Amino acid sequence: MHIITIECLYDNYSYLILTEDGKAAVVDPSEAWPVIKTLSERNLSLRAIWCTHHHHDHIGGIADLLDEYGDVRVIGFAGARAAINALSEVYEDGQQFDWDGIAVAVMHLPGHTETGIAFSFAGHIFVGDTLFGAGCGRLFEGTPAQMDNSLQRIAALDEQTNIYFGHEYTMVNLRFAGQVEPANEAISHRLHEVAGLRDKGLLTTPTTVALELRTNPFLRVDQPAVIAFAAHRLGRQPRDRVEVFGAIREARNSFS
């Protein structure tokens, strides 16, 4: 299995998943042309589209890809059927489907949207806009409690798991993380590394569970420094971890 990152739109990522014998699936095609270009350079045809959630910058390329390649499996969450018309194959949380002999698991991760999912197999997980490098998606449809729970499910995976996210927001997320936890050296170290990568035009995806556990404030809501940041925002002690989560998500919304 070979994974290729495709840059789309302004800061979106789509991902190609290629089998040994050249079958291609694409995760979250924002737009069709970069996907078609990458596939035609390799003389490959598209067999499947995996959809993490219904936002247009993740499904905008589907119609043109179906025009180009015809018979393509369009795979997503059962609950997203109404929002993504093109879905031809849907699954519930915990169900698996076969992708060329590999079992791909579907994980329902509400928070950014009500019906968002991740796809995982063999040490890789594609999370859409649920988790970003050192951050998480905005709560457009879900609650802080839902998003906290969804992120905890990702955090519970093997630490070496590669996490493929939907947008390049890592740099600004790390600057925010540094405000939340000024004494966290893992954050300042990663900020320095990511600045070097971005200066060279390189990408910060995928990340890993281990790296996020050390540097992502949304996975660290039980840390004293993060609780103190939330308390300062709230003007009182947070009642529980969900309030901590909500307070830092609010703070991130107005940070740029």
Q: What residues line the site for Zn ion (CB under 5 A)? A: 55, 129
For 216, list phi and psi in degrees, rounded to 5: -100, 110
Burial class (CB in 10 A: 0-12, 13-18, 19+), 64: middle
| CA distances in angstroms from 31 to 14, 27, 65, 102, 106, listed in the order given | 9, 11, 9, 26, 23
Closer CB to Zn ion, 129 or 181, in the complex:
129
Name the token pair of 231. Answer: 């308390």
> Which of residues 137 and 144 has its CB atom nearest to Zn ion in the complex?
137
Residue with smaller CB distance to Zn ion, 55 or 108: 55
Minimum CB–partner distance for residue 51 and Zn ion (Å): 11
With CA atoms as reference, report the closest residue to 27 among 73, 96, 91: 73
Contact criterion met (CB below 8 Å) for 192 and 149 = no
Minimum CB distance to Zn ion, residue 27 (Å) = 13
> Which residue's CB is nearer to Zn ion, number 47 or number 54?
54
Give me the least distance between CB of 58 and Zn ion, in Å please.
6
Nearest distance, CB of residue 55 and Zn ion, angstroms: 3
Cis peptide before 110 (omega within 30 of 0): no
Q: For Zn ion, give the closer residue by CB, 184 or 204.
A: 204
The smaller minimum CB distance to Zn ion, of residues 44 and 83, is found at: 83
Closest distance to Zn ion from the beta carbon of 253 (Å): 15
